[in-house]
Amino acid sequence: MSKEQLLARISVNPNICHGKPCIRGLRYPVEWLLELLSGDMTEPQILADYPDLEPADLRAAIAYAARLSRINSIEPVAA
C-alpha cells in the first residue's frame, strides 16, 4: 500500500473526537494509536483488542506521524 493510500485512511471530522485526526472515521485518534504503539503493546495485541482496526490502520498512524515530523520550523503562538 502506498504512503498516499495509507494517509487516505486518516480522516478529520469536527464531529468525531473533537476534530482530531482519526482512523477511517472511527473513534480511534491517531495520537492514541501512536501511544499504544510506543508503549508496551505489540501490533498483534492492539489488533486483537480492537478488532475493527486493520494492520494498515496502524501503518497509517505511523505514516501520519512521519509526515507531521517533516515540519521545517515551529513558530511560537502569541497567548
Mean pLDDT of each 10-residue bin along the chain, 79 residues long: 92 93 94 95 96 96 91 71
Looking at residue 37, what is its pLDDT? 95
Cβ neighbours of residue 56 under 8 Å, at least 6 residues apart? Answer: 1, 6, 9
Looking at residue 11, what is its pLDDT? 94
Question: What global pTM score does this model have?
Answer: 0.83
Domains of the chain: 3-68 (1.10.10.10)
**Cα of 73 vs its chain's centroid, Å:** 22
Looking at residue 78, what is its pLDDT? 74
